[in-house]
Structure 1
Amino acid sequence: MFQNSIDFAQNCDANDSLSHFREKFYIPKDKDGNELIYLCGNSLGLQPKKTSEYLKKELEDWAELGVEGHTEAEHPWMPYHEFLTQSMARIVGAKPKEVVVMNSLTANLHFMMVSFYRPTSKRYKIVIESDAFPSDKYAVESQLHFHGFDPRDGLILWKPRKGENLCRFEDLEEIIKQQGDTIALLMIGSTNYYSGQAFPLKKITELGHANGSIVGFDLAHGAGNIQPNLHESGADFAVWCTYKYLNSGPGSLGGCFVHERHANNPDMKRFTGWWGHNKQTRFNMRHEFEPIPGAEGWQLSNPAILSMAAIRASLDVFEEAGFDNLREKAVKLTGFLEFLIKELNDNRIHIITPSNPEERGCQLSIQVNSANKALHTDLTKAGVISDWREPDVIRVAPAPLYNSFVDVFKFVEQLKKVLN
């Protein structure tokens, strides 16, 4: 299927119906004006060229309209988050009423746990993967503390087996079998930030629900990368950021999913704010809180327009490309990367990400025996923007919207030079 040559890579790009989308992004350059090999969309996505146009329009409307921009802007600010809903719902596989863009990822995780982590003296434990992103671990530990439980007892880590890098589903089943009656919440990263392993969300949800546990997912490394099919999975909630694969800019707003079966339950415990209140009476100011049905009912404050404008710019590119098309290209790009790394025949290198495309997204995590960060530094000097994770892993993520097969080929050529 693949060939180890620059001609093959160039031919793939020439026959790629999505290749022109690269021109819609700013590609970082070195001091001599040469494009860098940017393979770090799993950390910060590149800027769509549309973004400045969309931001400029909101700044102009603010300058010309002042407060009237809330209703009179070309894209009125008051319902601005609604302009993002359809596209975002398609990206995460949800119904529009199940999705809202708001806050930041970890803030949204806490707000979700206010509603969905309701521990009792017997059922209070939380399950996460052992190498979850630190912010998730800190968040769930603090929730345990807040409710009066010791995280050393209340946090269950789903671990790879000794000598392995990936979590096995049967080991999660064993955790449920052994401790199920004490588990209140399964809170799993849909795609592990370190290994790149994508977990079977529907199977995990079914396992948790059969045990009477709530199930939520962190899609920080999933949204815009894999198709999580959140509605079909049956998950109770999910949260994600938009600045990685969704290219919305550093520190941009996050997203939130609440399954529709919870949509019309006004009695759910939650922390509330006025933007989650009934839109018809919101500005009356004197009504008791009445949550909007669906995910919107968890909103707190009015939208951060400039951030949402950047998100809208990126989502419009996704809409034009089609997420199914992007996923198809991502499988080929990452498969080509895997093929070329194996072609190196270097026994110092081990890919810890699953080989099955259904169990990973764009990212490959390349473990280099006896390496340290000096290897990554040398790659950076060679014009490669990738990501180093201690103790010995380079994370590389060819994003299908703006990365090419030639990018992948050139990266492996530079890796070979650095290794030698």
Structure 2
Amino acid sequence: MLILKNTANIFENVKQRNRHEPEFLQAVEEVLASIDPVLDKHPEYESVVRCIVEPERLIIFRVPWIDDMGNVKINRGFRVQFNSAIGPYKGGLRFHPSVNASIIKFLGFEQIFKNSLTGLPIGGGKGGSDFDPKGKTDNEIMRFCQSFMTELSRYIGAYTDVPAGDMGVGAREIGYLYGQYKRIKGLNEGVLTGKGLQYGGSLTRTEATGFGLIYLMEEILRHHQDTLQDKTVVISGSGNVAIYATEKAQQLGAKVVALSDSTGYIYDPDGIKLDIVKRIKEVERKRIHEYVRYYPTAQYYDGCSGIWSIPCDVALPCATQNEIDEGSAKILVKNGCIAIGEGANMPSTPEAIEVYLTHNIKFAPGKAANAGGVAVSALEMTQNSMRLSWSFEEVDKKLQDIMKNIFISMRDAAIAYGQEGNYVIGSNIAGFLKVAQAMHAQGTV
């Protein structure tokens, strides 16, 4: 149960001001409950807390574009620049029909603490549109991205706000966005990350979130005298995060038996054949059910929630917010799951997290577990500024070190506040303290 004492009045004020934004309120309540004990030791940070829950600015704009039939379409674009205390705003762009102000604000708020945990000088931001890239041609996506960037370019820059990709925004979209930014601004700068390797991208960026998730889970298990070796793993999603979490887990000796997309999930008790998944999702751009065409012994099920009924040792939700509810969490516990790591942003409901903590599940929350992507994005920014390109091995080693340091930070913060093993509290406190100290030092509050 989330308990607010020092921060109760702050949260009440947030609810009154944002009463129609459930995702944002959920994210804020979780963080405030975690950092509540901090105000016992540091009452001077109360003003920081009041400030940090309000974005520095929220930008909403119209995005007109023309489809292949010559019809004018209108979407809505967003960018939230939430907090710049420790560096320029940094956070992805999400193109998905569900995108609205609440989701963008929840993602941007989470990004503050995630970025802080990396130890790199980047603030929190997020953006996107309710545009759906599925079923669109390359030309339609190009025209949309160009229109979107025409407006967004007013508010971003290499030392101001550096977007990246997120759900629905991959290398193709980043290329179109970057090309339009260059046309408008006449600048060849590191204003976007996740770029192609031919024009300033970083090796390991595609793999970073998935690899980072596994590196953190391995650190947690190692701390408890265990490893991923011979563990059965269930992963939701089949995008970059899920694919490369699967790849790294398999390299470490785990057996991944399930993946999903928005239509359903596949179960292969012999272990997922990743080369086939990559072909389906990255080359053919088809749905996950195509997997059974290659391996008829695998099983496909419509719908997504059933994936958590598959017995596993480790569960890695990498799809979307609130995909694991209390019922699914209880099934995972009943089936012997010992560890859960969030590859997506806020994929577990508060009730599900309560189940994890009650049953001593080793749980890595998203702001720590999926920080590998933004960490390598920040490393891409560094390479762009230095006009250098690091090798895959160099970037991967830096990523491993960052994820190890994230574990140490959240472990030590949890211990310092009498909550050893509670990585929700540990990650929130560790992320908050760095931002709070910066805001206090700068006279922001």
Higher relative CO (CA 8 A, sep ≥ 6), structure 1 or 2? 1
TM-score by length of 2: 0.31
TM-score by length of 1: 0.33
